[in-house]
Structure 1
Amino acid sequence: MASLAEPHSAVAKDDRFFFITSLIMAAIVVAGFSLMIVTGRSSFASPPIVHAHAVVFMGWVVLYVTQNALVARGSIALHRRLGWIGAGWIVAMVVLGTIVTVRLVRLGHAPFFFPPALFLVLNPVTILTFLALTTAAIVRRRQTEWHRRLHFSGMALLLGPAYGRLLPMPFLIPYAYEVDVLAVLIFPIVGMVFDLRRTGKVHPAWWWGLAAIIGSTVLSEAITYSPLGTALYRAATAGSPGASVAPLAYPPFPPLS
């Protein structure tokens, strides 16, 4: 009886860990974007495409929490059915995330704590890395430990914009992007520590997650600060107000009032 109880207890601990961390991730996203509204740096007057982007990305956060809640309560059949909705959902995330990024850069509205070319490159690279991690999680859906850890790493990667709204980014220039990525890495590292304490070893999925996150960062900076990055920026902003903004110069700080 003890030998049967021990594996069951380990699974229950896994379920609790992933559910609780999903709630914490969701809280960070809500806090980050709520702060923008409270401080007046964002409003509901944005164009419809921006609202669609927000709804789709927040929808993924809700879906991620729901999926972990279903597993924790043992509703595996419903979890699997919703999983296929999520598989289609990520296509909308990739498309809308890219469209909104290009639109902001064309308007000359890239965040002032990033060079505009870096903002143009890092968002698509990040969302495509999320797509790769999530696709890998779906492919390995029958290998639960791989499946949930790859999904976890993908969700952690999406916390970057929320951290960018919570961290004192203006004071972190010129390392704002790198600090943001370090914050993103907190969750996979917590997952590794959880595995170490529970099983005495780190599941290899965490290493793949870390490699993907760090790799996307290196790739984003390598493209940005190469002739390719400047060429992409010039092509994306041609004929728009963003064309007059230097691709690698930090935009001026917005007015305080």
Structure 2
Amino acid sequence: MAEATMGARAGISPRKFYMMIAWTCLAVAVLGFMPTYFLPLAQSKFDAPPIVHIHGLVMFSWVAFFVVQASLVSRGNLLAHRAWGVVGVSIITAMVFIVTAVVSMRVRQVSQPGVPAAITEGTKAFSWVTMGTLFLVVPAFVAAIANIKRPEIHKRLILLITVAMLAAPIARWFLTFLAPPPDPNAPPLPAGVVPAPPVQVAIAPALVGDIILLIAMTYDWRTRGRPHPVYLIGGAILLIQQVTVVQVGHSAAWEAVATWIGKMAG
């Protein structure tokens, strides 16, 4: 009854709203990776180690999982929603290992002889963008699991996690259309080395992704009279993480951590 009343105020039920938001996140993920992954892959122009493809599959699986779960709730199939919830645990667990492995590989590649120091330092700094998101996602997911029986908290934490991940696909469009042309005078790099972009380019895509969170907060305002604390607290933490990536990424402390992560690759 309360949910129906809330939906009546906004003209759409909460269940349908979160299903629409989930599909929006999926669309952003697909369109975001289209120019740099899906199209090159279809044209046999994407050359990367298998671990990169596994990484993409795991990350994309989360957004697809979010859509499936939101759709099940929208149709009132709560038993199936709970039964499939264990898949989310598997995806997040796989994400921790595969993301760390990819970051370790990239840092190790740029730490070999012949790579300019600026590229090595830049890649270590940019690794915070990826690992910083992971450090937010994992605690938020644990909190979501702890609040399974409190759906108002649970679903908002899941959305917060998904929005945090959308900066990566959105950034692909920034890098595709706004990246400066390659320097023809730059010395050749060792095989397999992929320089990371400057850390600051991660800020704008992350803020664009936050628009989805703002939409959800606006919906809360119309249905609840105020945004839910999950959005206020979690959103604030996410925003702080996003706007401080340059300072943290280039700090001596993170450089030491990134160096240690790079050694994990062997």
Confirm or deny a common fold (TM above 0.5).
yes
Gaps of 5+ in 1: 241-257
2:260 aligned with 1:230: no
Name 2:66's counterpart in structure 1.
64
Report deviation, 1:117. Answer: 2.3
Bigger mean CA offset, 224-233 vs 52-61 = 224-233
Among 123, 135, 139, the alignment partner of 2:142 is 135
**Partner of 2:101 in structure 1?**
99
**Deviations for 1:53-112, whole angstroms, at most 9, x for unmatched residues?**
111111111111000000000010000011122112211011101111221232239xx8
The one-letter code sitting in structure 1 at the alignment partner of 2:221 is L
Q: Distance in 2 between matches of 1:108 and 1:237?
A: 9
- Shift in CA distance, 46/4, structure 1 to aligned 2, threshold 3 Å: closer
Does the Cα contact within 8 Å between 1:35 and 1:166 map onto a contact in 2? yes
Change beyond 3 A, Cα 1:77–1:174 = closer
Aligned pair 1:30/2:13, yes or no? no
Matched position secondary structure for 1:115: helix
Residue 167 of structure 2 is aligned to residue 165 of structure 1: no
Counterpart CA distance in 2 for 1:195 and 1:178 is 26
Q: Which residue of 2 aligns with 1:48?
A: 50
> 2:203 corresponds to which letter in structure 1?
E
Structure 1 window deviating more from structure 2 (53-62 vs 214-223): it is: 214-223
Alignment of 1:69-218 (within 5 A): 69-108=71-110, 115-167=122-174, 168-170=177-179, 175-217=200-242
Distance 1:161 1:33 in 2: 9
Question: Could you list the runs of 5+ residues in structure 2 that have no partner in the other structure?
Answer: 112-118, 181-196
Q: 1:248: which partner in 2?
A: none
Which segment drifts farther, 58-67 or 9-18?
9-18
What's the counterpart of residue 17 of structure 2?
Answer: 17
DSSP-derived class of the 1:45 partner: coil
**Pairwise CA distance, 1:189:** 1.0
**Equivalents in 2 of 1:64, 1:180: separation in Å?**
21
- Report the residue type matching 1:65 in the other structure: V
The normalised TM-score by structure 2 is: 0.77
Count of aligned pairs between the two proteins:
236
Cα deviations by residue, 1:219-249 (Å, 9 ceiling, x for unpaired) = 64443222212323444557x9xxxxxxxxx
Q: What one-letter code is carried by the residue in structure 2 that aligns with 1:140?
A: N
**Local SS of the residue matching 2:159:** helix
User: What is the root-mean-square deviation of aligned Cα atoms in Å?
Assistant: 3.1
1:249 — aligned with what?
none
The structure-2 alpha-carbon separation of the partners of 1:5 and 1:104, relative to structure 1 and needing over 3 Å to count, comes to closer
Q: Is the 8 A contact 1:156 1:184 kept in 2?
A: yes
Secondary structure of 1:201's counterpart equals coil
Q: Conserved in 2, the CA contact under 8 Å of 1:154 and 1:209?
A: no
Q: Would you say the 8 A contact 2:16–2:74 is kept in 1?
A: yes
Q: 1:4 to 1:37 in 2, by over 3 A?
A: closer
